[in-house]
Amino acid sequence: MFEIDLDTAKNLSVGLIVGSVLFLLLVLKFAKSVVTKLLLVALALGVGYLAFTQRDDVNACAAKVRTLMSAEGFVKDLSCHFFGQDISMSSIDLP
């Protein structure tokens, strides 16, 4: 498994949300069958929802890391994940 940093995870989630919206618009424009449209719309909405919730989880975890680092000066036994991948917390700015 590889490790990504916080900014990359945020950018990936925004990209997934925008990509799912663009995919949704393409499906609605070009798909002929109603069933196909419904299935692909459900898929696009699911990907967008997952990306949005993952971004929210990453932001909450980063806030928790910032709080612990400002209070204790270090963080131990706390890891953040983005779609199952570990996120490097070295890029977090302290307030």
What's the pLDDT tens digit per position in 42-73?
Answer: 998 999 999 999 888 888 888 888 888 778 77
pLDDT computed for residue 9 by the predictor: 84
Count of domains observed in the chain: 1
To the nearest whole number, what is the mean pLDDT of the chain?
Answer: 82
Domain ranges, residue 27:
4-86
Confidence at residue 19, expressed as pLDDT on a 0 to 100 scale: 92
- Hey, how many other C-beta atoms are within 10 angstroms of the C-beta on 82? 20
Q: Is 15 or 69 the better-scoring residue by pLDDT?
A: 15
In a domain, 37, yes or no: yes
Q: Is residue 91 part of a domain?
A: no
Q: Which backbone phi and psi does 76 adopt, to 5 degrees?
A: -130, 150
pTM across the whole model: 0.71
Q: Give the residue from 65, 59, 69 showing the smallest Cα distance to 78.
A: 65
48 within domain boundaries: yes
What confidence score (pLDDT) does residue 77 get?
A: 64
Q: Please tell me the distance from the alpha carbon of residue 52 to that of residue 34, in angstroms, as a whole number.
A: 27
Instruction: Report the helix count and the strand count for the chain, using DSSP H and E.
Output: 2, 3
On whether residue 68 sits in a domain, the answer given is: yes
Report if residue 95 sits inside a domain. no
Q: Is residue 92 part of a domain?
A: no
